[in-house]
Amino acid sequence: MNWYKEFEVEKVPNPPVNPAPVWKEINLISGQPIYGILPHGFMEQQFCTEYFNSRENYNILTDGRFAEKPDYLDPAYMHFTRGVGRTVVFRLPYLAAVSSAKIYMLRQDDVAVRLPRRVDVLVSADGEAWQCVCRLRGIACTENAEKHMEEAVFDGVYKAYYVAFRFESVGHVWLDQIEVFGTEYFPAGTKDPVAEDAAAGAEINLVNKYPDYSDFLGVHNVLLSYNCCVPEKVGANHAGLTDEEQYLPYVAYIKDGKIADTLFDAYLFLPYSNYTYSKLYKCAEGWRYYIDNVFAKGYNLDALDKTAARVGEALGMPDYKVTVFFSVLHTNVGYGEHPESFGDLDGDGVEEDMKTFEDRRKAIKWCIDEQIARYKAASPCHCELKAFYWFEEAINYSDKYETDLLSFARDYLHSLGLKLFWIPYFQACGFQDWKENGFDIACMQPNYAFNKAVPTERLYENAAVTKQLGMCVEMEIGGFDAYHVEKFRNYMDCGAETGYMDSVKMYYQGGMPGEFYRAYKCEDPGLHALYDELYLYCKEKYVSRKDR
């Protein structure tokens, strides 16, 4: 949705020069209105309001009226919410020599107002050649509610008629004031901007295509195969333990009771939430319990391998294999109810301290190594391990070890010839940094299936943003009834129309055996039809209902 005023940076080959220049350094944009604002991604309709995204007062960032306190309700702040990021452009009264800037902003954790993780400052003398003169990274402050000032010192003195600030707005970013310092005369050594960056407002390095299958191991369709429930939840139905009969309609497309074709070609093993919110997830004993579950005899990986063998034989493909992925469990265990100590994970007689980087790194390595060792010991003939999943839906930049642990996991897996991937929730913190953070692929959740208040437009917004960033799209179904089936068909329609159907696809359908299994078993023709439509979608043959 186009929320801000339309603008285009005017090309000015000969910008005006002050005939009576101010020789001392001043704030060159004091009292100047914003020239234009450009979002970097689609803005959701629900956030196109003056509260979430200010647009009525284009002088608020330069009027010199600072917020009195670190409170999101203070009217001095200009608000930016979602839309991936913004570029805010100012035009100076005259061509000037600029050397630095200051950005005043708010951090207030209890209402999810965050500091942008990075800010770029760009300058242009003519509106055509733009150069980034300062890149601020790792912006942080110490308090949970604080007015923060970040100074951007340019890498020289530059001629500028336009100055632009490019920053992230994954959640809420509240800015107070912006100042640009320089003079209206040009000291010796003043530089002309070099056309090294995209035009102001444009995000650089956009991919503008969904991943090819070759970008991710040749995989087409990944089923999220949840495993491992806490003991009290397992019960008579063996929750968290998927058997061969339950895997069959996923590995094979069943038509008229017979194996007619293959279906899902990849399976991700990841734990149920009742496990991840339990004490077990927060101790060494529980980590071993989880891995035991992945490799339980007759279930999960073992059952999947036997099912793939059966399907391959039925289709005359005795060497048929499916791809499998395991999870890297999250080491930040210091939340919620948890044991006083994590315990001894690797058997060296010393308990791991998950408050330290060294032991968290050790735990990641153990988690990877143990699953690989168990996989090799199981020697599945019809499953191939090719990657690990980072089991976390947002990047926690406030965790001082997070990015370093990610780098370790990526480098270690790559050294073993394996990939690392991620499935963030819709515009989760860090989603646009997926490649910078070392993931080989990232698949964003639209989160349309679970909330009646989210309009169908969310699917198209998500499709556009993921394509820009080179991500794929997670397919989601939130239940098995006419309402949820219709919503899932909207996912398929959108995928066929926008092109993400022809890219890597990952599917959330609840705990195993899941909603697609229920569609397969359902005797109601209207609901069972979902299973047949799913097959067409997985094979990239589905046609949107708009085009039939």
Residues 44, 154 within the same domain: yes
Local confidence band at 340 (pLDDT 50, 70, 90 cut-offs): low
Mean pLDDT of the chain: 93
If residue 90 lies in a helix (H) or strand (E), which one and from where to where? Answer: strand 85-108
Whether 7 is covered by a domain: the verdict is no
* Separation CA 448–CA 438 (nearest Å): 27
The confidence score (pLDDT) of residue 199 equals 46
Looking at the chain, the whole-number percentage of residues with pLDDT higher than 70 is: 97
* Separation CA 151–CA 334 (nearest Å): 34
The confidence score (pLDDT) of residue 204 equals 45
Looking at the chain, the whole-number percentage of residues with pLDDT higher than 90 is: 82
Question: What three-state secondary structure class fits 428?
Answer: coil
The confidence score (pLDDT) of residue 243 equals 98
Q: At how many degrees (to 10) do helices 357-378 and 300-314 cross?
A: 40
Question: What three-state secondary structure class fits 219?
Answer: coil
* Domain coverage including residue 262: 213-547
Residues 155, 259 within the same domain: no
Instruction: Provide mean pLDDT across the span 524-528.
Output: 94
The CATH number assigned to the domain holding 149 equals 2.60.120.1190
Residues 400, 273 within the same domain: yes
| pLDDT > 80? residue 435 | yes
CB contact at 8 A, 201 and 459: no
Instruction: Provide mean pLDDT across the span 289-301.
Output: 98
Amino acid at 286: G
| pLDDT > 70? residue 337 | no
Instruction: Provide mean pLDDT across the span 145-169.
Output: 95
Residues 510-519: tens digit of each pLDDT: 999 999 999 9
Whether 1 is covered by a domain: the verdict is no
CB contact at 8 A, 294 and 279: no
Instruction: Provide mean pLDDT across the span 500-523.
Output: 97
pTM reported for the whole predicted model: 0.82
| pLDDT > 80? residue 217 | yes
The CATH number assigned to the domain holding 375 equals 3.20.20.80
Whether 206 is covered by a domain: the verdict is no
Instruction: Provide mean pLDDT across the span 459-485.
Output: 94
Which two structure tokens, joined as six digits, stand for 75? 């009217």
* Separation CA 120–CA 313 (nearest Å): 57
Whether 124 is covered by a domain: the verdict is yes
Local confidence band at 399 (pLDDT 50, 70, 90 cut-offs): confident
The confidence score (pLDDT) of residue 484 equals 97
Instruction: Provide mean pLDDT across the span 150-170.
Output: 94
| pLDDT > 80? residue 205 | no
CB contact at 8 A, 366 and 346: yes
Local confidence band at 339 (pLDDT 50, 70, 90 cut-offs): low
Number of domains comprising the chain: 2
Percent of the chain as helix, strand, coil, to the nearest 5 = 30, 25, 45
The confidence score (pLDDT) of residue 335 equals 43
Residues 68-106: tens digit of each pLDDT: 999 999 999 999 998 888 999 999 999 999 999 999 999
Residues 24-35: tens digit of each pLDDT: 999 999 999 999
